[in-house]
């Protein structure tokens, strides 16, 4: 999937798994079946080389996959089954044998559906070897080995002929190659190749057709995920405004889609400017082209405003008549919003126009969908591209650096004026006219706040050349290029000369670092504070002065499905897949908490939030582990799906910024999560399911430990049926 998460450095998987094969070590590594994996530690900042099992990457891929989510997608499974039955029937009615090609078979589920529907033989293609091995076992367990051949290759490598993988071309093409953007997983090139080399002309295809829809909206909230807004700073000398540089204003933004659970965006957060527009369709039963193309739709504006954002989704029709349809439409565009199917493997898309544009109700415009072989993007034009010759063949590319350094939530966080005001108020209590400030965060505007609030001198550290250039641009746009010194190096490598021989009186951090994935990874600030201890003056203030790790036990409305065993799927036994996922999750670090933006995933709390660990930034990182044991009492009935963990940063004794819960849970336990941050979810694997049994657990005991030598936070949560009455 081509998504924002893959574009922005913050969400790049820091574990990376870069393999280091030294020539002198090659034979030794092969003989021991081990590999060295590079791990850039996000908390300590160090680079470590770890010896791992040869299947380490596989375990990570499986553990973080959406296989379980897809198997739980009842709507998807039923519609595919209906479409497959209809396709097999059409072929049989013509007096032909039903020969099926299933590309991206995964568990082999769709192939087994085809054989059950009467297909004579299926060729199931799966490029991921552990998944192909699992498919072979699942097919065998369900008694279909004589009718299904699993081929562990990419479909473009499959051969046809007497000695090939398939003796002849198939006449039914079944695929599930889609992501949230429809084409982001390479569906178009795969279909193009299949029609040229693997299937008969005018074959049956399931799905038969895909349709992409779009809707133009104005949304300050969503636009704040894409552009830097003017930021207001109230000082004793009046209001100062931090403005974005012209390069950021003109920049078309990142080329990647922002895929989200659009049903969790409130209708009050956007104004609809157009009807839902069918933008383009792909007929999978005919030759498909992966060449770049554009599709325009003229429409009449429903309201005046500022055209900023395009919301997009797709549906697939399983049959030529379009009677069997599976749609990703959000609730306001859904034919029956009461029966929405929750799914996380296919969501909805948010695209940002290159520039916002004022529009007037009743006027006519053209919305243009462009795509190449992997990406979709949109533009707004006064007339159709066919008439004006403007087709924008190239996808937008960020040239201001900001969209490469800040992901969408980070833009939103920086644009959060209430958050800025909180930092301003805290800074006012610690800054003095002679303050020398050192700001340590990635791409932070704290240094500008400190300057505007009267600090004598401000230094800011930017570890990468790209972030250094970006901050230079922002400072120049605000005439501060000579007021704030940017130091381009890792903060651990600072020297007295970098600080011009001065002692730091105020050390500032948000903390925010692009390498952080889990909430406690930003404890890197503590390690930096320790590294620069020698440069802190007597009585130096560290802000935030401390942090604390908090937890609450929750019941998810839907997110539990991604970790819940499936067992039986449409009458087929897939326990082998469940076991495979469980083994992967049990594989060392996959067993730990995982990051999720919980504003997209409703849940309600079964306990009160509880502080687990505290970290005192006023002191260097301790040498000994910090450990906490205790229990969390469950105060509301429900299914204990997991514990949610987050960090709270105590800027001053009177000011705290939460990366998790923003306010106490309501009577029913509904949670309001910080939309700019991902929280950590530790799933209780033994209780995943939709209903709470009677006499369920009354408490959750925990052991959580922070290991200073590695920066790791290890944890274990155990459900208990013993009431915690304080005795």
Query: What share of residues in the chain are helix, strand, coil (percent, to 5)?
Result: 30, 35, 40
Q: Does the annotation count 185 as an active-site position?
A: yes
Q: Which of 126, 176, 413, 594 is catalytic?
A: 176
| Measured distance CA(609)–CA(645) in Å, rounded | 9
- What would the DSSP string read from start to end of 289-338? --S-EEEEEEEE-SS-EEEEEEEEEEEEESSTTS-SEEE---GGG-S-GG
Q: Does the annotation count 176 as an active-site position?
A: yes
Question: Are β-strands 364-371 and 376-381 bridged in parallel, bridged antiparallel, or unpaired?
Answer: antiparallel
Residue 471 is classified by DSSP as H
Integer CA distances (angstroms), 61 to 72, 179, 233, 451, 460, in order? 19, 16, 45, 46, 37
Tokens found for residue 32: 């021991």
Does residue 249 contact residue 301 with C-beta atoms inside 8 Å?
no
Integer CA distances (angstroms), 176 to 183, 249, 300, 450, 538, in order? 11, 39, 35, 52, 63
Does residue 679 contact residue 605 with C-beta atoms inside 8 Å?
no
Of 715, 708, 503, nearest in space to 616 by CA = 708
Tokens found for residue 264: 């969790």
Strand partners, 652: 655
Element (H, E) at 26: helix 26-32
Question: Are β-strands 305-317 and 170-175 bridged in parallel, bridged antiparallel, or unpaired?
Answer: unpaired
Strand partners, 280: 212
| Measured distance CA(287)–CA(292) in Å, rounded | 15
Residues in CB range of 578: below 8 A, 6 or more apart:
68, 565, 566, 567
| Measured distance CA(305)–CA(359) in Å, rounded | 5
| Measured distance CA(315)–CA(336) in Å, rounded | 14
Phi, psi at 140, each rounded to 5°: -65, -45
Classify the phi-psi angles of 379: left when phi > 0, otherwise alpha if psi is within -120 to 50, otherwise beta. beta
**Cα–chain-centroid distance for residue 174?**
28
- Other Cβ atoms within 10 Å of 665 Cβ, number: 21
Tokens found for residue 203: 């074959």
Q: Which of 185, 356, 492, 705 is catalytic?
A: 185
| Measured distance CA(545)–CA(650) in Å, rounded | 6
Residues in CB range of 418: below 8 A, 6 or more apart:
none
Which stretches within 142-243 are classed as H helix?
Answer: 187-197, 220-223
Q: At what angle do helices 129-141 and 56-63 cross, to 10 degrees?
A: 70
| Measured distance CA(288)–CA(208) in Å, rounded | 12
Q: How many residues does the chain have?
A: 727
Of 359, 373, 368, 360, nearest in space to 387 by CA = 368
Residue 622 is classified by DSSP as P
Give catalytic residues, as residue numbers: 176, 185
């Amino acid at each position: 999937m081509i998504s924002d998460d893959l574009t922005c450095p913050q969400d790049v998987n820091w574990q990376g798994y870069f393999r280091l094969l030294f020539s002198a070590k090659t034979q030794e590594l092969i003989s021991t079946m081990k590999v060295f994996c590079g791990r850039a530690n996000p908390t300590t900042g160090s680079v470590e080389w770890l010896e791992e099992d040869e299947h380490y990457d596989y375990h990570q891929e499986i553990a973080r996959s959406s296989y379980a989510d897809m198997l739980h997608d009842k709507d998807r499974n039923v519609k595919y089954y209906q479409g497959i039955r209809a396709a097999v029937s059409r072929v049989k009615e013509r007096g032909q044998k039903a020969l099926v090609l299933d590309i991206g078979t995964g568990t082999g589920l769709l192939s087994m559906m085809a054989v059950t529907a009467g297909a004579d033989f299926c060729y199931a293609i799966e490029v991921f070897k552990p998944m192909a091995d699992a498919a072979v076992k699942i097919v065998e367990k369900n008694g279909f080995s004589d009718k299904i051949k699993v081929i562990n290759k990419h479909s473009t490598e499959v051969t046809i002929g007497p000695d090939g993988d398939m003796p002849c071309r198939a006449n039914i093409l079944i695929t599930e190659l889609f992501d949230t953007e429809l084409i982001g997983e390479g569906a178009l090139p795969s279909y193009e190749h299949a029609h040229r080399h693997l299937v008969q002309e005018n074959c049956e295809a399931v799905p038969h057709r895909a349709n992409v829809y779009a809707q133009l909206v104005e949304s300050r909230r969503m636009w704040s995920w894409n552009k830097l807004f003017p930021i207001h700073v109230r000082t004793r000398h009046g209001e100062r405004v931090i403005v974005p540089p012209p390069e950021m204003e003109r920049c078309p933004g990142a080329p990647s889609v922002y895929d989200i659970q659009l049903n969790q965006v409130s209708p009050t957060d956007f104004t609809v400017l157009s009807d839902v527009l069918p933008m383009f369709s792909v007929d999978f039963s005919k030759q498909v082209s992966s060449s770049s193309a554009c599709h325009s739709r003229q429409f009449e504006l429903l309201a005046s405003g500022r055209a900023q954002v395009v919301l997009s989704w797709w549906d697939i029709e399983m049959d030529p008549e379009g009677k069997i349809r599976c749609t990703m439409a959000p609730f306001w565009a859904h034919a029956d919003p009461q029966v929405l199917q929750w799914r996380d493997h296919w969501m909805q898309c948010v695209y940002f126009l290159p520039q916002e544009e004022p529009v007037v109700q009743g006027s006519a415009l053209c919305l243009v969908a462009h795509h190449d072989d992997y990406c979709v993007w949109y533009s707004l034009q006064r007339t159709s591209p066919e008439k004006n010759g403007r087709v924008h063949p190239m996808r937008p590319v960020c040239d201001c650096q900001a969209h490469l350094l800040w992901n969408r939530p980070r833009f939103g966080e920086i644009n959060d004026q209430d958050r800025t005001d909180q930092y301003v108020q805290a800074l006012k209590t610690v800054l003095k006219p002679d303050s020398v400030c050192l700001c340590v965060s990635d791409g932070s505007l704290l240094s500008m706040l400190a300057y505007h609030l009267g600090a004598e001198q401000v230094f800011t550290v930017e570890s990468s050349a790209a972030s250094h250039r970006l901050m230079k641009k922002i400072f120049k746009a605000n005439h501060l290029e000579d007021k704030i010194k940017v130091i381009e190096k890792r903060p651990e490598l600072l020297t007295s000369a970098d600080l011009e021989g001065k002692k730091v009186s105020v050390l500032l951090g948000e903390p925010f670092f692009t390498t952080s994935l889990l909430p406690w990874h930003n404890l890197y600030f503590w390690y930096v504070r320790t590294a620069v201890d020698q440069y802190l003056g007597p009585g130096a203030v560290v802000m935030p002065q401390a942090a604390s790790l908090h937890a609450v036990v929750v019941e998810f409305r839907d997110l539990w499905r991604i970790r819940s065993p499936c067992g039986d799927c449409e009458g087929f036994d897939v326990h082998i897949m469940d076991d495979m996922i469980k083994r992967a999750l049990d594989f060392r670090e996959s067993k730990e908490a995982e990051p999720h933006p919980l504003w997209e995933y409703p849940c309600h709390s079964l306990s009160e939030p509880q502080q687990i660990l505290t970290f005192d930034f006023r002191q260097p990182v301790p040498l000994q582990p910090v450990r906490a044991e205790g229990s969390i009492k469950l105060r509301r009935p429900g299914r204990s799906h997991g514990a949610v963990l987050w960090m709270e940063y105590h800027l001053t004794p009177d000011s705290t910024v939460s990366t998790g819960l923003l306010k106490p849970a309501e009577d029913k336990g509904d949670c309001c999560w910080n939309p700019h941050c991902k929280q950590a979810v530790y799933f209780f694997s033994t209780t995943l399911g939709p209903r709470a049994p009677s006499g369920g657990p009354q408490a959750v005991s925990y052991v959580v430990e922070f290991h200073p030598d590695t920066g790791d936070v290890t944890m274990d949560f155990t459900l208990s049926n013993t009431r915690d009455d304080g005795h």
